[in-house]
């Protein structure tokens, strides 16, 4: 039923989802989204292609490109040892600046005391890996924790393309309490502090919801999600 309604029909004001988790709808303007999609065209040309990571013997429906580090369950490597053994592209310097800008924007949503308690310090934010996840219209991602990083700095997430149905839960288990959110193109989402290890996932993609400037034509639609993290590794 949600697919029958435009994202504008839902509440899209910036807000705290739970302590440590902040949603910033429409953070990226049209020009920024288009520019990031052009960067994606460079990233997908390799040297490590978008690939389906295998978890417990099963390939994910989401395809991933790593920048800075190559991720596989439980570890980070500089080379894609489970794909083609090529070294991944470096983490772009401009992405650090972008991540800090997102962190700074949370100051308009949370109090100074909360920002300090949750580790939302733009000047100190130094991500060194981005996982670029590519969803076609059938892709999903089960509830999971981002816990393979040694540094618990906040995760910054950016959405491009079709809207996804994003579920953000609690730190104890995959069950309630959780909240379902429509993340649309241009949205940013930050989670750190008490929400850093909250379970979260993508229930599905809402087809044909991306505006023309953000439609991922060569994929026939779909969504790209960029998540910046700090590995804590040298």
**And the tokens for 186?**
């241009």
CA R_g for the chain: 17
Which H or E run includes 179?
strand 179-183
The per-residue pLDDT for 4 is: 46
Mapping DSSP to helix (H, G, I), strand (E, B) and coil, where does residue 81 land?
coil
Q: Assess if residue 47 is contained within a domain.
A: yes
Residue 3 has pLDDT above 60, yes or no: no
Q: Assess if residue 12 is contained within a domain.
A: no
C-alpha to C-alpha distance for 8 and 53, rounded to whole angstroms: 34
Q: Assess if residue 8 is contained within a domain.
A: no
Q: Can you give the CATH number for the domain in which 84 is found?
A: 2.60.120.590
Mapping DSSP to helix (H, G, I), strand (E, B) and coil, where does residue 197 land?
coil
Q: Assess if residue 14 is contained within a domain.
A: no
Total domains in the chain come to: 1
Q: Is-cis flag, bond preceding 50, omega within 30?
A: no
What's the mean pLDDT in 128-138?
A: 97
**And the tokens for 226?**
């960029």
Let me know: does 145 contact 199? Beta carbons within 8 Å: yes
Let me know: does 120 contact 111? Beta carbons within 8 Å: no
Q: Assess if residue 98 is contained within a domain.
A: yes
What's the mean pLDDT in 159-169?
A: 98
pLDDT digits (tens, 9 = 90+) for 42-101: 999 989 999 999 999 999 999 999 999 999 999 999 999 999 999 999 999 999 999 999
pLDDT band with cut points at 50, 70 and 90 for residue 25? very high
Q: Assess if residue 216 is contained within a domain.
A: yes
pLDDT digits (tens, 9 = 90+) for 90-107: 999 999 999 999 999 998
**And the tokens for 58?**
């099963």
Q: Assess if residue 3 is contained within a domain.
A: no
Q: Assess if residue 11 is contained within a domain.
A: no
Which one-letter DSSP state was computed for residue 92? P
C-alpha to C-alpha distance for 4 and 1, rounded to whole angstroms: 6
pLDDT digits (tens, 9 = 90+) for 107-127: 889 999 999 999 999 999 999
**Structural domain boundaries enclosing 212:** 21-198+206-229
**And the tokens for 110?**
């949370």
């Amino acid at each position: 039923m949600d697919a029958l309604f435009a994202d504008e029909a839902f509440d899209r004001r910036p807000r705290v989802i739970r302590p440590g988790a902040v949603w910033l709808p429409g953070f990226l303007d049209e020009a920024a989204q288009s520019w990031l999609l052009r960067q994606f065209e460079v990233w997908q040309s390799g040297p490590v292609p978008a690939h389906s990571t295998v978890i417990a013997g099963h390939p994910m429906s989401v395809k991933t490109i790593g920048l800075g580090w190559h991720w596989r369950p439980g570890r980070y490597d500089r080379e894609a040892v489970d794909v083609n053994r090529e070294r991944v592209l470096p983490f772009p310097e401009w992405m650090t600046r972008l991540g800090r800008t997102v962190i700074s924007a949370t100051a308009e949503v949370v109090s100074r005391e909360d920002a300090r308690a949750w580790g939302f310090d733009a000047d100190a934010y130094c991500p060194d890996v981005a996982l670029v996840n590519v969803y076609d219209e059938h892709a999903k991602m089960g509830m999971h924790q981002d816990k393979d990083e040694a540094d618990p700095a906040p995760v910054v997430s950016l959405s491009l393309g079709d809207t996804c149905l994003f579920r953000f839960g609690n730190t104890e288990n995959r069950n309630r309490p959780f909240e379902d959110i429509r993340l649309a193109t241009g949205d940013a989402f930050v989670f750190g502090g008490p929400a850093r290890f909250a379970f979260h996932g993508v229930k599905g993609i809402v087809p044909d919801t991306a505006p023309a400037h953000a439609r991922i034509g060569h994929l026939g639609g779909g969504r790209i999600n960029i998540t910046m993290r700090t590995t804590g590794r040298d």
